[in-house]
Structure 1
Amino acid sequence: MDAKEAGRQDPLEWHGHRIVTEDDLAYSFPGPTDKSSRRRRKWRHAIHGVVLGFLLLLVTASVAGAYLLMTGYMVIPAWEHKPDPAASAEISGCPRDVLDYAKPDSATVNVYNGTRIPGLAKKVAEDLQRRGFKIGEVGNRTLSNTSIIAAVVSGTEGRTAALTVQRHIKDTEYVSDGRIEGSAVDLVVGRKYVGLVDKERISTEEGRLSCPRDD
């Protein structure tokens, strides 16, 4: 090959073979800026957004559910207390002793929703608190018969407070649960609860407790 022919030779050829350059590689193997790569990135971003949105929704629902359970607006049957003699109003007798009416602020009342009516325990607790009663626990409890106004439950020391509660809620049924100590009263509210007795109609005279099978 003479000098003239060598000058005309393609610089990208070497002994009859073409030399692969960066431009050739870029054309044959597209880099991260091609359209398919951009579509993949957009798809990943979309998936991440959906996952984050779902997690946010799950956290929000969990917080809302916890609030509704704590306030008594939502009832989960599996979490309710099992039926017991006190709550189911199954008693062997009724106290016959005459009791004095006590001031509401001397009585502590635990209020339980015995139905599936959302927020019932909270509402009744607020009604009693406005009357001056001290409110203890507010939650859910099972009644075998929900078609009552309410069951008033206490031990011997709580009978006076139970009488006071009965004077504020007409036609409740007293149940003795045999607790040895404590004057607190449990109020398990049924479906027929409609509200408290008007203040001016409340009797403050001494009297007996009203039981399901009172004679």
Structure 2
Amino acid sequence: MSEHDSPRQQRAQAKRDPTEWHGQRIVTETDLGAVFVEDDAVRHRRTVRRRVRHGIVLVLLVALLAAAVYVALGIARGDITVGEAAPAPEPTSSCPVGPFDYQDPSAITVNVYNSTTIDGLASTAADQLRGRAFAVREIGNRQVDSSGMTAIIVSGEGGHANAATLQRTLPESIFVEDEREDRSVDVILGSQYSGIVPPEAVDITPIALTCAPEEEAATPGPTPSAPAPTPTAP
């Protein structure tokens, strides 16, 4: 329509134009398409990114599923343990490991001590050990922090085999190590001592030393340089 047309002519022409309504232009699909045209390259990039994201999610899901299957099979076979507490450390012991060979009694120097109030206990045991060829050197009294025990056998590291040989002869005796450097052995008799093992019952095969549990081990007093006089006869 021309601006010089009369109003009547303009209204007639508007009726013939379907894109106008009462002098206002109607927005058509063509108009919208022209405004919101999406570039093919942009649409393609969006599609590619969407496919990549879907692919990554799919790969992660497959990996998680495979890991779950692997762990399940490992647990079933026992190769993998879940929630199992670490094993507690085994208690250590200062008792010599051994085993120790039986030694010639005549080559073993023994000191015999009485820790009880029984008169003559050390002298009696010394005579019994001499009868088995042990070389008894000292006889005396010696106090220990223990009660109701049979005998304590004491030696340094070099006297382990000698102590094991003597322990075979004294039933129910226990071993305690000290810091002496020679191979001598001390025997400290307790109130339960009743004699030595009969000759035929002595075990001459290699054996280990028998030690008391650390919390129960008696602590012998210092070895006297000479038997001190006491009210109790050795």
TM-score normalised by length of structure 2: 0.51
Describe how 1:48-59 pairs up with structure 2 within 5 A: none
Equivalents in 2 of 1:193, 1:143: separation in Å? 15
* Stretch of structure 1 that moved more, 96-105 or 167-176: 96-105
Describe how 1:74-85 pairs up with structure 2 within 5 A: none
Q: Give the equivalent residue in structure 1 for 2:96.
A: 95
Deviations 1:87-116 (A, max 9, x none): xxxxx6211122111011110100000111
CA RMSD of aligned residues (A): 1.2
Does residue 195 (structure 1) correspond to residue 168 (structure 2)? The answer is no
Q: Give the equivalent residue in structure 1 for 2:166.
A: 165
Describe how 1:16-165 pairs up with structure 2 within 5 A: 93-165=94-166
Does residue 212 (structure 1) correspond to residue 190 (structure 2)? The answer is no
Deviations 1:165-212 (A, max 9, x none): 101111100000122x11000000000000111111110000110101
Could you tell me which runs of 5 or more consecutive residues in structure 1 were left unpaired when the two chains were aligned.
Answer: 1-91
Q: Secondary structure at the match of 1:151?
A: strand
Q: Give the equivalent residue in structure 2 for 1:184.
A: 184
Task: Write the letter of the residue equivalent to 1:188.
Answer: I
Q: Which protein is bigger by CA-based radius of gyration?
A: 2
Equivalents in 2 of 1:120, 1:148: separation in Å? 14
Equivalents in 1 of 2:142, 2:177: separation in Å? 16
The answer on whether the counterparts of 1:94 and 1:213 sit within 8 Å (CA) in structure 2 is no
Q: Secondary structure at the match of 2:161?
A: helix
Equivalents in 1 of 2:158, 2:147: separation in Å? 26
Q: Give the equivalent residue in structure 1 for 2:46.
A: none
Task: Write the letter of the residue equivalent to 2:113.
Answer: Y
Q: Secondary structure at the match of 1:158?
A: helix
Equivalents in 2 of 1:97, 1:118: separation in Å? 35
Task: Write the letter of the residue equivalent to 1:173.
Answer: I
Q: Secondary structure at the match of 1:111?
A: strand
Equivalents in 2 of 1:146, 1:133: separation in Å? 26
Deviations 1:71-97 (A, max 9, x none): xxxxxxxxxxxxxxxxxxxxx621112
Q: Secondary structure at the match of 2:137?
A: strand
Equivalents in 2 of 1:139, 1:133: separation in Å? 17
- Moved beyond 6 Å, runs of 4+: none
Q: CA deviation at 1:138?
A: 0.5
Could you tell me which runs of 5 or more consecutive residues in structure 2 were left unpaired when the two chains were aligned.
Answer: 1-92, 215-234
Q: Secondary structure at the match of 2:187?
A: strand
Q: CA deviation at 1:146?
A: 2.8
Equivalents in 2 of 1:161, 1:177: separation in Å? 14
Task: Write the letter of the residue equivalent to 1:141.
Answer: R
The answer on whether the counterparts of 1:114 and 1:146 sit within 8 Å (CA) in structure 2 is no
Task: Report % sequence identity.
Answer: 39
TM-score normalised by length of structure 1: 0.55
Q: Secondary structure at the match of 2:196?
A: coil
Paired positions, count: 122
Equivalents in 2 of 1:145, 1:126: separation in Å? 24
Deviations 1:38-90 (A, max 9, x none): xxxxxxxxxxxxxxxxxxxxxxxxxxxxxxxxxxxxxxxxxxxxxxxxxxxxx
Q: Give the equivalent residue in structure 1 for 2:18.
A: none
